[in-house]
Amino acid sequence: MDLNPTPQERQFRDELRAWLEAHAPRDWEARRSATDSMEARFAFLRQWQRQVYEGGWAGLSWPKEYGGRGATLMEKAIFTEEMARIGAPPLPGILGLELVGPTLIAFGTEAQKQRYLAKILSGEEIWCQGFSEPNAGSDLAALRTAATLDGDRFIVTGQKVWTSYGWASDWCELVVRTDASAEKHKGLTVLLVDMHSPGVEVRPLRQMTGETEFNELFFENVRVPVENVVGRVNNGWNVALGTLAHERALLGAGLQITFKRQFARLVELARQTQRNGRPAVEDPVIRQKLAQCYAEIEIMRLNQMRAISRVMQTGMPGPEGSIQKIFWSELNQRFQQVAMEVLGPYGQLTQASDCAFDQGQWAYTYLRARGNTIEAGTSEIQRNIVGHFVLGLPRSY
């Protein structure tokens, strides 16, 4: 056990830091709460991804032959941490970089790799993921969007929901049912769908935060050429699961930095706000709650480091990896609640108020955290996974 970075890791981090110092926009946090249009903000992010790409940092863990850097999982974690540390803007092509790209590398044909990968890296083409449906959420395999073969193309009809970046996307990794008579996991296929095709409609889905991070997608007789199948027809469940495994391994590293930055800011605010006639930071109840948040943020980081080390050592995720999603999402909800207690009546003020702390970000993060235990696999599904796959309890459904 050695928790110090290796010389190579240190060198990687120093090189990255120097690059970020020179190139990362510093005004992202102000920009995010400004009243720019969604489109203007997206254009800004796209420009940022272009810079990251040109700097050679996009697709870090992709193999070199596909334009990546062949970085280790630890280097990937360092990248995510360093981006969070300086508050760099997110990469708008994140779904392509983290989900679609790795899926194509694992399951795609050589022609597909040539056609799509480079443009994912540069952000020239933005991707979304068409997985969940109104009646297929936790039970994803129950999805009903249908694709029927018609000569050399599929005709797709159906509806998807919770699609991040749907409105900005050029392409969609879509899971469809190609065999209605097969068992539900066995009749699925993954298609690459041009979002500019006739019959594709994207509608905004307004969340309780007021934002529209997600979309609903409607497909009506959309034509998709057969060469856009990823993997084999009716083997889509394995292809899609490969993608979800990437999604679950991905979170965590940057979050602990984000949470720590928010924590430091909250302590600063706890010195300014009053509780029982003294600064909130001196109130014993608040101190208990802040310390608990700090301890849990640290443990989230430690669990993440252990999980990464395990994968690097054995090639397989261990039990500590399976709890990450539950841990960070539930921690964030508790943390945002503590923030609300520290801020008192001010906590509820939104971006629209001049009196709000930090442009109303606390009211926003409080509401946004509510979605954390639902998105990317609910806490209940995560506990089913732990119960069945880690502890070996019988499947409950």
Partner 1 sequence: MQFGLTETQQVLKNSAREFFSAECPIGEVRRLMETDTAYDAPLWQKMAQQGWTGILFAEEYGGLGLGLVEMAVALEEMGRALLPGPYFSTVLLAGAAIDAAGNPAQRHRYLSRIAMGEAHATLAVLEADASWEPEAVKLEARPTLAGFALTGRKMFVPDAAAADFLVCAARRGGDLGLFIVPRGAPGLAVSPLPALDETRKLYQIVFEEVPVAEEDFLAIGDSAREALERALAVATVALVAEMVGGMQRVMEIAVEYAKARKQFGKPIGQFQAVQHMCADMLLLTESSRSAAYYAAWSLQKRAPEAAAAVSIAKAYASDAYREVGNRAIQVHGGMGFTWENNVHLYYKRAKASELMFGDAAYHRERLARLVIDTL
Residues marked active site are found at: 247
Is 248 near partner 1 (CB under 8 A)? no
CA 282 – CA 66 distance, rounded (Å): 54
Query: Among 104, 77, 82, which Cα is nearest to 15's?
Result: 82
Among 84, 290, 339, 369, binds partner 1 (CB under 8 A): 290
Place of tokens 């307004």: 206
Per-position b or e across 293-316, b if 16+ CB within 10 A of its CB: bbebbeebbebbbebbbbbeeeee
Nearest-approach distance from CB 339 to partner 1, in angstroms? 14
Task: Give the start-end residues of each E strand in 254-328.
Answer: 274-275, 278-279
Residues 72-101, one symbol each (x = binds partner 1 by CB under 8 A, - = not), give --x---------------------------
Residue 127 backbone dihedrals phi, psi, to 5 degrees: -115, 150
Query: Among 118, 88, 84, 81, which Cα is nearest to 101's?
Result: 118
Nearest-approach distance from CB 64 to partner 1, in angstroms? 23
CA 51 – CA 267 distance, rounded (Å): 34
Is 316 near partner 1 (CB under 8 A)? no
Is 342 near partner 1 (CB under 8 A)? no
Of the pair 35, 313, the CB lying nearest partner 1 is at 313
**329 is written with which tokens?**
């999402």
Binding residue count for partner 1, defined by CB under 8 A: 52
Is 392 near partner 1 (CB under 8 A)? yes
| Ordered alpha helix ranges (H), 110-235 | 110-122
Sequence-distant (≥ 6) Cβ neighbours of residue 37 within 8 angstroms: none
Among 7, 183, 313, 354, binds partner 1 (CB under 8 A): 313
Of the pair 156, 281, the CB lying nearest partner 1 is at 281
Nearest-approach distance from CB 366 to partner 1, in angstroms? 21
Place of tokens 């926003």: 364
Nearest-approach distance from CB 9 to partner 1, in angstroms? 6
Residues 361-390, one symbol each (x = binds partner 1 by CB under 8 A, - = not), give -------------------x-xxx-xxx-x
Piece of the chain touching partner 1 by CB under 8 A; list 33-41, 117-125, 300-308, 337-345: 300-308
Is 209 near partner 1 (CB under 8 A)? no
Nearest-approach distance from CB 10 to partner 1, in angstroms? 10
**129 is written with which tokens?**
């993921």
The enclosing H or E element of 17 equals: helix 7-23
Nearest-approach distance from CB 140 to partner 1, in angstroms? 18
Is 279 near partner 1 (CB under 8 A)? no
CA 73 – CA 64 distance, rounded (Å): 15
As to burial, measured by CB atoms within 10 angstroms (0-12 exposed, 13-18 middle, 19+ buried), residue 256 is buried
Is 65 near partner 1 (CB under 8 A)? no
Helix, coil or strand: residue 358 = helix
Piece of the chain touching partner 1 by CB under 8 A; list 43-51, 96-104, 166-174, 297-305: 297-305
Place of tokens 């979170």: 251
Is 221 near partner 1 (CB under 8 A)? no
Query: Among 171, 174, 62, which Cα is nearest to 127's?
Result: 171
Is 135 near partner 1 (CB under 8 A)? no
The binding site for partner 1 (CB under 8 A) comprises: 1-6, 9, 74, 264, 267-268, 281, 284, 287-288, 290-292, 294-296, 298-299, 302-303, 305-306, 308-310, 312-313, 319-320, 322-323, 326-327, 380, 382-384, 386-388, 390-396
